[in-house]
Amino acid sequence: MLTFDNRFLQELPGDPETGNQLRQVFRACWSHVAPTPVSAPTLLAYSREMMETLGLSDAAIQSSEWVNALSGNGLIPGMQPYAMCYGGHQFGNWAGQLGDGRAISLGEVVNSKGERWELQLKGAGVTPYSRMADGRAVLRSSVREFLCSEAMHHLGIPTTRALSLVQTGDVVIRDMFYNGNPQAEKGAIVCRVSPSFIRFGNFEIYAMREDRETLQTLVDFTINRDFPELASYPEEERFAEWFAIVCVRTARLMAQWMRVGFVHGVMNTDNMSILGLTIDYGPYGWVDNFDPGWTPNTTDAAGRRYCFGRQPDIARWNLERLAQALYSLRPEREIYDEGLMLYDQAYNKEWGAVLTAKFGFAVWRDEYEPLINEIFDLMYHAEIDMTEFFRKLALVDAAQPDLALLESAAYSPALWDTFKPRLAEWLKQYAHVCQTEGRVPAERRKAMNSVNPRYVLRNYLAQQAIDLADQGDVSMIEELLDVLRKPYDEQLGRERFAALRPDWARHKAGCSMLSCSS
Ligand code: AMP
Ligand code: MG
């Protein structure tokens, strides 16, 4: 029996209207809405870790009661489904009311450790916030969200989680690249899980509507429920401290994404978690050949607003939008100036720590900066795989550096040859630094391998798992879920999951090109 304690619903104002008809919802944070049933739900996969965290057993999650609940065909006692109201800036412009258009929260579970975990179905049918769309999700995007949520967790990166992946038995029509080519795809639902699904956009909507009362209620609620560490602060300092914490958490998240080569793809303010979690896995991607300008999102291909290298700047821009919304409540510029300054500081500090660890240095020294810039420049121009490069760099013997060790990270033998002299010179200097630092080689290697993953959810791997699942074979989803449990460990017999992107995947839909259509 799970314990539900649905505070979002109980403590925040709700929409008096029920049902899922489209509407603008004013002065309320949520709307009651029931999931729309599906024809033939099948549980394709679930996360053992998340299941155990919630206090569920295999038998429970596989039971018809739970499979029904996880597919929108029924409710477990204590569940009270609702959709949240929020707005957001999309691609730099205020977009008005967005809200949970296809997400339906089921309630907040409090587990035996007293942790709060909200369960939310993604793709469970239309809500008052669905705008022009169908409230559904396709199998490909659901597999991607399911696997990546858990992979990020195991990498040690703050994220919303995923409990289950269900196939609905219904079809969903999608025009994947918005080019007049609609296809029937399999429908699916992920049950995602998070201590809070509150986004920057939850605050923005009330500020934009000049509804200070609801904004204040939501701020108080968020501080109370989601930031218990603030309870000990004097009341007059709490708000400023809260904004500062949000800035610092967001900064840390950005440094962690940059560490592993994760590109979110749609960093709109409605996709920014107030807890600094990775949220809303859509057209995200993992950097193969190192390229700060790379974006997996074809919708963003022209502007590259959300490309790999710009993520830290965009997160700051999003924090400025949050500040702007909160300013209507507390018009004290110092609060926001201070928070944003902390963002810059925290990002620089964390990024410095990330670089130190990635390169296996004992400490950070400013004179390492040109060395690091040079290799990033070389990795970009010589098309070198980010993940493979850092694992191989850990194997370099500083006493006798051998460039050949790194060649397995190169995508193009021709480019490798072209840049070989510069790469050799760089390696010599790097080895010299390591020698000068005098760190024990085994220690350096271990430190590097604990921050440079061996396995990430490469885009083409996710796509292979999707193609198989589409034919009814979920074995690769299971296997990826398992490989990605220990992303920093060398796993014997699983080398293929660490392989560089094959040539066929370079420009293939789903592998390097994704869209928001999901
Ligand atoms: P996203 O780009 O996934 O963050 O979505 C932006 C907004 O569009 C959010 O309000 C979503 O709930 C909504 N949305 C996206 N896809 C759908 C869909 N298939 N049905 C209804 N709403 C959707
Ligand atoms: Mg979203």
CA of residue 516 to ligand 2 center, whole Å: 10
For ligand 1, pick from 94, 269, 270 the residue to mutate: most ligand atoms within 8 Å of CB. Answer: 270
**Cβ distance 38 to 169 under 8 Å?**
yes
> Of 15, 100, 226, 270, which residue is the catalytic one?
270
Q: Which ligand is nearest to the CA of 130?
A: 1
Q: Is 92 helix (H, G, I), strand (E, B) or coil?
A: coil
**Cβ distance 474 to 468 under 8 Å?**
yes
Can you tell me which atom of ligand 1 is nearest the CA of 271?
Answer: 4
Average pLDDT of every residue of the chain: 97
**Cβ distance 423 to 403 under 8 Å?**
yes
Q: Which ligand is nearest to the CA of 131?
A: 1
Can you tell me which atom of ligand 1 is nearest the CA of 127?
Answer: 21
**Could you give the angle at the alpha carbon of 76 between the alpha carbons of 72 and 78, nearest 5°?**
120
Can you tell me which atom of ligand 1 is nearest the CA of 266?
Answer: 2
Confidence of residue 65 (pLDDT cuts 50, 70, 90): very high
**Cβ distance 311 to 263 under 8 Å?**
yes
Residue 266 pLDDT greater than 80, yes or no: yes
Residue 513 pLDDT greater than 90, yes or no: no
Q: Which residues line ligand 1 (CB under 6 A)?
A: 98-102, 129-130, 133-136, 266, 270-271, 280, 282, 516
Can you tell me which atom of ligand 1 is nearest the CA of 135?
Answer: 20
Rounded CA-CA distance 392/389 in Å is: 5
Question: Residue 518: what pLDDT?
Answer: 86
Q: Which ligand is nearest to the CA of 122?
A: 1
Residue 468 pLDDT greater than 80, yes or no: yes
Question: Residue 517: what pLDDT?
Answer: 80
Which residue minimizes the CA distance to atom 6 of ligand 1?
A: 98
CA of residue 383 to ligand 2 center, whole Å: 32
CA of residue 456 to ligand 2 center, whole Å: 23
Residue among 453, 357, 468, 515 nearest 152 (CA): 453
- Per DSSP, the chain holds a count of helices (H) and strands (E) of 16, 13
Which residue minimizes the CA distance to atom 20 of ligand 1?
A: 135
* Per-residue pLDDT reduced to its tens digit, 374-410: 999 999 999 999 999 999 999 999 999 999 999 999 9
The token pair that represents 155 in the structure block: 């990498």
Alpha helices in 55-166 (DSSP H): 58-62, 64-71, 139-155
Which residue minimizes the CA distance to atom 22 of ligand 1?
A: 101
Q: Is 268 helix (H, G, I), strand (E, B) or coil?
A: coil
* Per-residue pLDDT reduced to its tens digit, 470-512: 999 999 999 999 999 999 999 999 999 999 999 999 888 888 7
Which residue minimizes the CA distance to atom 18 of ligand 1?
A: 135
CA of residue 194 to ligand 1 center, whole Å: 18
Whether the pTM exceeds 0.85: the reply is: yes
For ligand 1, pick from 22, 82, 84, 102 the residue to mutate: most ligand atoms within 8 Å of CB. Answer: 102
Q: Is 388 helix (H, G, I), strand (E, B) or coil?
A: helix
Which residue minimizes the CA distance to atom 7 of ligand 1?
A: 98
Question: Residue 511: what pLDDT?
Answer: 84
397 is catalytic: no
Residue 63 pLDDT greater than 80, yes or no: yes
Can you tell me which atom of ligand 1 is nearest the CA of 100?
Answer: 12
Rounded CA-CA distance 346/252 in Å is: 7
Residue among 100, 36, 119, 19 nearest 71 (CA): 36
For ligand 1, pick from 30, 127, 131, 268 the residue to mutate: most ligand atoms within 8 Å of CB. Answer: 131
* Per-residue pLDDT reduced to its tens digit, 298-341: 999 889 999 999 999 999 999 999 999 999 999 999 999 999 99
Rounded CA-CA distance 490/496 in Å is: 12
Domain boundaries, the chain: 7-198, 202-358, 366-438, 459-505
Q: Which ligand is nearest to the CA of 132?
A: 1
The token pair that represents 111 in the structure block: 């587990």
CA of residue 90 to ligand 2 center, whole Å: 10
CA of residue 380 to ligand 2 center, whole Å: 31
Number of residues in the chain: 518
For ligand 1, pick from 94, 120, 130 the residue to mutate: most ligand atoms within 8 Å of CB. Answer: 130
* Per-residue pLDDT reduced to its tens digit, 107-153: 999 999 999 999 999 999 999 999 999 999 999 999 999 999 999 99
Can you tell me which atom of ligand 1 is nearest the CA of 98?
Answer: 10
Q: Is 462 helix (H, G, I), strand (E, B) or coil?
A: helix
* Per-residue pLDDT reduced to its tens digit, 169-181: 999 999 888 888 8
* Per-residue pLDDT reduced to its tens digit, 269-278: 999 999 999 9
CA of residue 131 to ligand 1 center, whole Å: 8
Question: Residue 472: what pLDDT?
Answer: 97
Helix (H) / strand (E) element for 96: namely strand 93-97
Residue 199 pLDDT greater than 80, yes or no: yes
CA of residue 50 to ligand 1 center, whole Å: 25
* Per-residue pLDDT reduced to its tens digit, 415-459: 999 999 999 999 999 999 999 999 999 999 999 999 999 999 999
Question: Residue 509: what pLDDT?
Answer: 84
